[in-house]
Each structure stands twice: as C-alpha cells, then as structure tokens.
Structure 1
Amino acid sequence: MTSSLAKIEDFPSDPVEFFKEILQEAAKGHPDGFMQEMNLATVDEEFGVLNRTVLYRGLTQDNCVFYITHRYVRNFKNLQANPKACITFYMPDVKDKAGIQNSWQVRLIGATAVELPQSETDALWAKENLAAQIRGHICPCGEPINYDDLKARHDQFLEDHRGKPIEKPASYTAWKFQPQRWDFLKVGLDQIADRVQYRLQKDGKWESMHVST
C-alpha cells in the first residue's frame, strides 16, 4: 500500500483561465469529440436541494459559466425564487505534463444566477440541434404524458418543419453564474487530494490559496 499528497502547481492568477486549461487537457483524451457535463444544484420549496447533470455550454463574454433552460421547468422557477446555486464539474481522466492520470473536480461555490437578456439567446438557439429545438416546443417538462401521444406530436412537428427554421419559443432562456469562489480539487491514485481555491475579494480581484481537502 502507498500514500502520497497530490499537489497543484503552476496555476494562473485567474480561475477561469485555470478552468480552461483543465478542460483543454480533459479534451485531449477524447479525440473523436468531447462533451463536458456539469451538475447544477438549486433550492426548491417542495423538495429542498435539487440537482441535475447537464451539458456545459461554455462561457459568456464576461467569463461566466452559463446554463440554457426553459421558463416552464422547475430549475428556472427555483433560480427565479432563489438565485443562489452551486455548480460542479467532474473530470476523471486528465493527464498532467508527466503523463500521469488525475481526477479533477471544479466547483463554483456561492454562485448567483443572473438571467441573460433575450437578445443574447438568439445565437444560442441557432446553435441548438434539431432534437433540442423540437423539445422546446412539444415537451411539457415534468408533466405525466402518454408516450404514443407525444411521439405522434413529435413526428407531426418534425414533418411540418422539415427543411424550415424553427422559431425560438418565448420560454427559451439562459442564466449565467457569478461565483464567490472557484474551487479546484486534484487527486491521483492512492493520493490525498490537493485543493486550490480562488476567493473573490471586495475589490473584484481573486485571491488564490491551497486549502486542505
């Protein structure tokens, strides 16, 4: 049996740049295509804390992680009622410069959700695949359904819009997340994890430090 301490070295002063670096390294292990997932936790009056795992879509122009959703779904209502949220990224197969495989967990702690202006969602809608665009028009999220009825509705919608652009529904929207802290955890086989945390200061700058796992 062995044991050692993981160590995060040579991290940049800006947490977003560090996040981009890790994503870039994670993507190298997937030459045929890379899709990063993220787990979003919100607060719900009925169930308490609710979480869901969704695809990471990228960053806004001001370097905030954003999330696409619809106004009729529970997560929108949760964020509207309580904009505090937490996001976790898990990347289990990231090799360092020495070729050693590590697992990374990146968290946005104490994040405040801010809804994007509708003018900024037009470009996002245009990038959605066909299935996502159809879903935005025909799926009553969380409501009981009859599968055959929904399939018939889907097939008819697809036929009616074949070869035509699908209009963005009024429900389509997006949130960006402004965190108080970025938390980076790295661990390898038989290691105690190391963490680097960036804490937002009153002057808007980030202070970074190692913290115990």
Structure 2
Amino acid sequence: MQVNLAAIRQEYTKGGLRENELPDNPLALFSQWLQEAIDAKVDEPTAVLVGSVSPEGQPSTRTVLLKDLHDGKFIFYSNYESRKGRQLAQNPRISLSFVWHQLERQVHVEGLVSKVPAQESDAYFKTRPYKSRIGARISPQSQPIPNRMQLMRKFVKEAAHWIGREVERPSNWGGYAVTPHRIEFWQGRPNRLHDRFLYTLQPDGTWKHERLAP
C-alpha cells in the first residue's frame, strides 16, 4: 500500500456536548441527534451497525436501517433465518452503532432484542416497495447461492406469482425491537479530547449519566 495510513487524520471541530444540557432520558437526545442528521442530509442517517454473537462467542457485525424508535425501543427489520437472526435467537444480547461522520458524532447502544408482534411486521411490510417485498420472499439471506442468475430467476418467478395480489410477508421475515440498557454519545472535539457521555439504565427505570475519558 502506497498511502501512509498513519498520517491520515483530521481535527474534529463541529460541536461539543455539555453535561448540563443533557436530558434525563437518552432517547430524547438520540431523537434530537437523529433529526439533526436527517436535516443535515448526512449519508444514510438511519444506517446502524448491528453486532451479535455466535454460540462460539465470535462477534459479528452488519449494517441495517433503523425503521422506528417506539416506546423506548430501536426497531429494525430483517430475515429471521439470516446469520444475525440465528445468532440473536440463541443470544438476545445486541449492540447498535450509529456513525454520522459529517457531524462528527457517534451513538453506541447495548441491550436485549426481541421480535416485534407479527401484526407490526405485517403493517411495516405493506409499506415497503413492491420489489423489496418480492426480494424478501425469495432471498435465503446469508446462505451460499451458486450465482446471481439463480436469484434473478427466483425473483421473476415470485413476482409473476403475486401479480394483481397483495404480497404477503414471509414468516421468516420481520421486526426486531432492541431494549437498551447502555447508550453512549460521542462528539468529536479538537486534540482528540472528545466528549463522551454514558447513560446506564438503573433498577428503578431511570437513567444515570456520566462523562467518560476520550
């Protein structure tokens, strides 16, 4: 590699996070930051890195899109038989990481995951674009396939099957709700003296926050 990776760096100067301005509930701050990311037109503002753990203790990550923030829970949708789906079925511990580079901000969430009720998955599935619904029905997500042509043939056949009818949600596809117990907010600052605040859920349902060293 001809590029000196160690020399690539930038100063973070776009904002700060003051403890006296923190809300009692971290979901309020997250909602504010998410809205500001959307308003700033950052790339994929709802993209979130999802971490799960295999039965052997091997962590793995992938990116999905946050689709709702409801009743204190982070909601996303996926294939229940995918690699993450199988891992989450065996171990409901999960992490979420939001990274908004343009705003020099990150949010890291840890918690427990559960499936959303089937009727909620049905309702969301109906809002998806037609081709996305077809794709969800035919994709054996995370499984090896011989080639792309086979996938396209399955797509065409499935699309023809549902012409003139409402595409039904497959039973192996639906929503996940993440109930957080740890949320960290990171705001880049000059000289690598970043602002980091950690919220932890207390036994009485309130949140405690404290500043972390950068």
Identify whether the pair has TM-score above 0.5, normalized to the shorter chain: yes
1:189 Cα deviation (Å)? 5.1
Q: Which amino acid is 1:22 matched to?
A: W
2:125 paired residue number: 125
Contact 2:16 2:189 in 1 (8 A): no
1:99 paired residue number: none
1:55 to 65, 83, 88: 65
Contact 1:69 1:172 in 2 (8 A): yes
Query: Displaced runs of 4+ in structure 1, greater than 3 A?
Result: 1-4, 188-191
1:159 paired residue number: 160
- The verdict on how the C-alpha distance between 1:200 and 1:47 changes in structure 2, with shifts beyond 3 A counting, is closer
Unaligned runs of 5+ in 1: 95-102
Provide the C-alpha distance between the structure 1 equivalents of 2:200 and 2:186, rounded to a whole number of angstroms. 15
Q: If the length of structure 1 is used for normalisation, what is the TM-score?
A: 0.85
Report the secondary structure of 2:96's partner residue.
strand
Provide the C-alpha distance between the structure 1 equivalents of 2:96 and 2:161, rounded to a whole number of angstroms. 38
1:82-107 per-position Cα deviation (integer Å, ceiling 9, x unaligned): 0011110001123xxxxxxxx11101
Aligned-residue RMSD, C-alpha: 2.4
Match status 1:180 vs 2:175: no
Q: What are the within-5 Å matches in structure 2 for residues 194-213 of structure 1?
A: 194-213=195-214
- Greater alpha carbon shift after TM alignment, 155-164 vs 118-127: 155-164
Q: Which amino acid is 1:126 matched to?
A: K
Which structure shows the bigger proportion of residues in helix conformation? 2
- Greater alpha carbon shift after TM alignment, 16-25 vs 155-164: 155-164
Aligned residues between the structures: 201
Contact 2:93 2:112 in 1 (8 A): yes
1:12 paired residue number: 23
Provide the C-alpha distance between the structure 2 equivalents of 1:212 and 1:135, rounded to a whole number of angstroms. 45
Match status 1:140 vs 2:140: yes
1:64 to 66, 73, 86: 73
Provide the C-alpha distance between the structure 2 equivalents of 1:183 and 1:208, rounded to a whole number of angstroms. 9
Report the secondary structure of 2:125's partner residue.
helix
Provide the C-alpha distance between the structure 1 equivalents of 2:139 and 2:86, rounded to a whole number of angstroms. 17
Fraction of identical pairs, as percent:
22
Match status 1:193 vs 2:194: yes
Contact 2:37 2:45 in 1 (8 A): no
Q: If the length of structure 2 is used for normalisation, what is the TM-score?
A: 0.84
